[in-house]
């Protein structure tokens, strides 16, 4: 089998997006050592984690949730574990400490 590496002239130009949206294919969870877990009962739906996540890997989902104290929310914040890098910014910024970083288990 003969395989030839491309010469530098055949490589695509760096830092140029040739296909918009292609980053969706690059799932960035592989190097995560900690994963954020949202306590839905504690979460006050303030949206801060959603705003701060650099990926963004916090999803705002139209999914009602009723807490153990009978408080009803119409939205739920969830983590997209395909893209979350485990940086912990969301847990750091959550004003009610509803996000816990737990060891990743694969």
* Shorter beta-carbon distance to ligand SF4: residue 12 or 95: 95
Report in angstroms how near the CB of residue 81 gets to ligand SF4 at its nearest.
8
Integer-rounded Cα Rg, in Å, for the chain is 19
Among left, alpha and beta (phi > 0; psi -120 to 50; other), residue 72 is beta
**What's the CA gap between 14 and 38, in Å, rounded?**
37
Regarding 29 and contact with ligand SF4 (CB under 6 A), the answer is no
* Shorter beta-carbon distance to ligand SF4: residue 27 or 47: 47
CA neighbours closer than 13 Å in the CB half-sphere of residue 44: 6
Regarding 59 and contact with ligand SF4 (CB under 6 A), the answer is no
For ligand SF4, the binding residues (CB under 6 A) are 36, 38, 43-49, 53, 55, 57-58, 77, 79, 84-90, 94, 96, 98-99
């Amino acid at each position: 089998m003969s395989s030839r590496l491309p010469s530098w002239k055949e490589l695509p130009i760096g830092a140029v997006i040739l296909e918009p949206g292609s980053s969706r294919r690059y799932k960035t969870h592989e190097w995560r050592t900690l994963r954020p877990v949202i306590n839905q009962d504690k979460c006050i739906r303030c949206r801060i984690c959603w705003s701060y996540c650099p990926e963004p890997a916090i999803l705002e989902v139209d999914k009602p949730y009723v807490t153990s104290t009978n408080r009803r929310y119409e939205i739920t914040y969830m983590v997209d574990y395909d893209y979350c890098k485990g940086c912990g910014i969301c847990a750091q910024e959550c004003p009610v400490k509803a996000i816990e970083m737990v060891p990743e288990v694969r």
